[in-house]
């Protein structure tokens, strides 16, 4: 089963859990009976749906993929699964399991933990179950002995051929994309889809399918855990593997053949285009040729996340011709100082020319921004707010976060110097006595900056609450405008000018849903 996020209505419900489905495909190819349970798209409470699913048959293995953000809810389903299927082997996998296997055993009822990619360990596990062999000592897993000690058995990252086989095993033919689309479109038509979800759905044209083409991101950003995921599983630096242009094109054609209603393919790679990229131009040429030959729909479009310092006009133009209409860029900050702290200082000089070029070609840039950092100054915060406002008005989509979230495995999360500046939240697993403190945010070290960020966050939440009557959820660019609006007076108190407050307020108002118009639209739609 996939990670369970009860607040997924804005993003994750837009697609089935791709990694879980890939594992299901690999196992099914080898004769295993596999069932994917997606807790984010159940009709009714996921607990009841899971109970029904588990009780309908006898299961040898129940696997749960978990993340730091969804850990509490994943654990609740895991404990439920244990009560319903006491004889099944319960396995945890995913980011949080790889980085913190000891925590999985401490908080959950797990028998095994998968370290890194799950394909090899699960195949071996299925073989041993089928032949009634002992289940201990499988490479790529962690076990806990009776004395409480932990045994980790590292595994090497998959090479290109193994990754290709796994990706091509993904059973897109059985993934319920059409059901997702029908559900989304029905909600969209009657105006019952939350505003933010509606915006994201429109951005992805609702009928989107996701494709992963590489094993991990090697860029080493200090706030991110993706780089270290396979390193942790392997116990050393892993090698990157990804599909080449021809293989990507084959998968695109397969997706379209399987789901002919698809209109957007989202490359869900952490980074799709790298600086030394040799596949993006031939892939774009292949897509254009396939469209001209009638092998792909002419209106098929693409979305990807990319390094902005990997972009140039030639690549952007090719991607535009192929149908890329949204390009995600992990800008993170407009401050050179903060970018250096994030191990991304090299991108700073590329931001201005590449965003201008992207917009000039009619492609929408989507910028991920982090308002502060552990060592940020007020000037750094102001620079990011100021530039975010400028680029938003020019047509960029922006997602903004106030501070670093300490994801397990990230360099920041492992830095002992930042522990005193880390805030924790108390978590508990409903229906059990299990509870723990989970790292939630890393605040700026400087007390003045920390105070300003917390005040900006407080005002943001207050403004968001004020706007709840107009929209349950708001589009990313609107939420970013709120961050900018509440940040303007806070920084002004310190003598720093970001933008004219009334101007920002007017800009925000122009982008907010109009209550009367929205109500009338819903009334007409429902009639």
CATH 3.20.20.70 maps onto the chain at 180-370
Q: Which residues contact 307 (CB under 8 A, 6 or more apart)?
A: 219, 271, 273, 274, 275, 329, 330, 347
Tens digit of pLDDT for each residue in 326-373? 999 999 999 999 999 999 999 999 999 999 999 999 999 999 999 999
CATH 3.40.50 maps onto the chain at 8-115+118-153
Backbone angles phi, psi at 15, to 5 degrees: -155, 150
Whether residue 50 contacts residue 37, with contact meaning beta carbons closer than 8 Å, is answered with yes
Residue 116: closest CA among 241, 208, 266, 202: 241
Q: Which residue has the tokens 């501070």?
A: 403
Q: Mean of the pLDDT values across residues 509-518? A: 67
- The secondary structure element, H or E, covering residue 152 is strand 150-153
Backbone angles phi, psi at 444, to 5 degrees: -60, 145
292 or 198, which is more confident: 292
Region 180-370: CATH code: 3.20.20.70
Distance CA 414, CA 222 (A): 10
Centre a 10 Å sphere on the Cβ of residue 459 and count the other Cβ atoms it contains.
17
> Predicted confidence band at 99 (pLDDT cuts at 50, 70, 90)?
very high
Whether residue 317 contacts residue 308, with contact meaning beta carbons closer than 8 Å, is answered with no
Q: Which residue has the tokens 């890194």?
A: 116
Distance CA 182, CA 174 (A): 16
> Predicted confidence band at 303 (pLDDT cuts at 50, 70, 90)?
very high
Centre a 10 Å sphere on the Cβ of residue 516 and count the other Cβ atoms it contains.
8
Domain 8-115+118-153 fold is Rossmann fold (3.40.50)
- Cα 419 to Cα 167, 411, 458, distances in angstroms: 38, 12, 22
Instruction: Report the pLDDT value the prediction gives residue 467, as an integer from 0 to 100.
Output: 85
181 or 214, which is more confident: 214
């Amino acid at each position: 089963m996939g990670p369970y996020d009860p607040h997924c209505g804005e993003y994750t419900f837009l697609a089935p859990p791709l990694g879980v489905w890939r594992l299901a495909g690999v196992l099914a190819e080898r004769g295993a009976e596999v069932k994917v349970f997606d807790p984010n798209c159940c009709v009714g409470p996921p607990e009841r749906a899971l109970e029904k699913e588990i009780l309908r048959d006898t299961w040898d293995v129940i696997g749960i993929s978990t993340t730091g953000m969804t850990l509490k809810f994943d654990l609740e389903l895991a404990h439920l699964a244990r009560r319903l299927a006491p004889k099944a082997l319960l396995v945890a996998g995913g980011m949080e399991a790889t980085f913190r296997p000891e925590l999985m055993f401490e908080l959950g009822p797990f028998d095994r933990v998968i370290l890194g990619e799950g394909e090899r360990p699960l195949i071996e596990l299925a073989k041993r179950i089928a032949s009634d062999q002992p289940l201990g000592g499988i490479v790529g897993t962690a076990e806990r002995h009776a004395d409480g000690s932990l045994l980790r058995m590292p595994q090497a990252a998959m090479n290109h051929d193994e990754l290709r086989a796994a990706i091509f095993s993904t059973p897109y033919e059985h993934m319920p994309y059409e059901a997702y689309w029908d559900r989304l479109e029905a909600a969209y038509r009657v105006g019952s889809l939350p505003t933010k979800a509606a915006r994201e759905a429109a951005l992805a044209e609702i009928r989107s399918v996701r494709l992963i083409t590489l094993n991990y991101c090697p860029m080493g950003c200090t706030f991110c855990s993706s780089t270290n995921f396979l390193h942790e599983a392997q116990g050393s630096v892993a090698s990157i593997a990804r599909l080449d242009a021809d293989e990507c094109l084959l998968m695109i054609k397969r997706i379209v053949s399987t789901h002919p209603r698809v209109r957007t393919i989202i490359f869900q790679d952490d980074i799709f285009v790298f600086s030394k990229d040799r596949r993006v131009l031939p892939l774009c040429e292949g897509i254009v040729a396939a469209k001209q030959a009638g092998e792909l729909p002419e209106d098929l479009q693409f979305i990807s996340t990319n390094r902005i310092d990997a972009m140039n006009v030639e690549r952007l133009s090719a991607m535009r011709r192929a149908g890329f209409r949204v390009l995600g860029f992990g800008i993170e900050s407009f401050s050179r100082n903060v970018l250096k702290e994030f191990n991304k200082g090299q991108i700073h000089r590329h931001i201005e020319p590449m965003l201008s070029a992207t917009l000039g070609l009619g492609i929408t840039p989507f910028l991920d921004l982090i308002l502060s950092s552990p060592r940020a100054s007020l000037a750094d915060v102001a620079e990011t707010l100021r530039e975010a406002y400028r680029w938003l008005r020019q047509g960029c989509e922006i997602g903004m976060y106030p501070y670093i979230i300490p994801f397990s495995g990230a360099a920041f999360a492992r830095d002992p110097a930042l522990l005193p500046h880390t805030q924790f939240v108390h978590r508990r697993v409903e229906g059990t006595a299990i509870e723990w403190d989970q790292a939630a945010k890393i605040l700026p070290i400087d007390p003045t900056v920390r105070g300003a960020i917390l005040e900006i966050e407080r005002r943001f939440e207050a403004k968001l609450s004020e706007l709840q009557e107009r929209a349950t959820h708001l589009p990313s660019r609107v939420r970013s405008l709120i961050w900018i609006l509440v940040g303007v007076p806070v920084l002004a108190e310190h003598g720093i000018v970001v933008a004219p407050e009334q101007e920002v307020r007017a800009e925000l108002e122009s982008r907010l849903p109009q209550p009367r118009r929205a109500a009338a639209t819903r009334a007409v739609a429902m009639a």
